[in-house]
Amino acid sequence: MTYQEKENVVNIFSGLLITLVYSWIVYQKHVSGVIDLTADYRKWGVVFLIFIGVSVVARIIIYIIFHIINAIATREDKIPVEDERVKLIKLKGMRNSYYVFSGGFVLGILGLSIGLPVYSIFIVFIISGLLSEVVDNGTQIYFHRKGL
C-alpha cells in the first residue's frame, strides 16, 4: 500500500470516528435535556463551531501519530513528493466530494420544502459532509489502485 493510500485510509477512519463520537456526545446531551436541538438553532451553530475545533485538533493529533507510526514501520522519514499524477487524483476525489456534498445540500433544501423540521437540514449537512469525505478519500484510493 502506498503512502497516499495509507493516508486516505487514515482520513476515512478518523473522519468517521471523530464524527460518530462527537455526534454521540451531542445526542446524549440532547436526550438528557442539557441542550435542546429541536427548537434552538443558535445551539446548532455552537455545536457546529465546536465540532470544527474538535475535528481540527483531533485530526492534527491523528496525523502526527500516523506519521510517527508510518516512519517507524517503513523506516522512511520523508513524505513522498506529490507528482502531477497524485495531484490529478486528489482533484478527481475533490470533484466527486463536491458532487456528494452538493447533492446533500439539495436534499436538505428539498426536505425543508416538503415540510421537514428545520433541524433536519443540519443533520443532512453533517451526513453529507461525512459522506463527501469518504467519497473523496475512497475515490483517491480507487485511482491510486487503478493506476491513473
Tracing cell 457546529 back to the chain, one arrives at 48
pLDDT band at 66, cuts 50/70/90? very high
> What is the pLDDT at residue 98?
97
User: Average pLDDT, whole number, for the chain?
Assistant: 92
> What is the pLDDT at residue 39?
81
Residue 96 to residues 19, 89, 91, 103, 105: CA-CA distances in angstroms?
20, 11, 9, 11, 14
Could you give the percent of the chain with pLDDT greater than 70? Answer: 100
pLDDT at 148 > cutoff 80? no
User: With b meaning 16 or more CB within 10 Å and e meaning fewer, what string describes 41-51?
Assistant: eebbeebeeeb
Q: Over the stretch 30-62, which tens digit does the pLDDT of each residue have?
A: 899 888 888 888 888 899 899 999 999 999 999
Q: Over the stretch 129-145, which tens digit does the pLDDT of each residue have?
A: 999 999 999 999 999 99
* CA distance linking residue 134 with residue 125, whole number of Å: 14
> What is the pLDDT at residue 36?
84
Q: State the pTM of this model.
A: 0.86
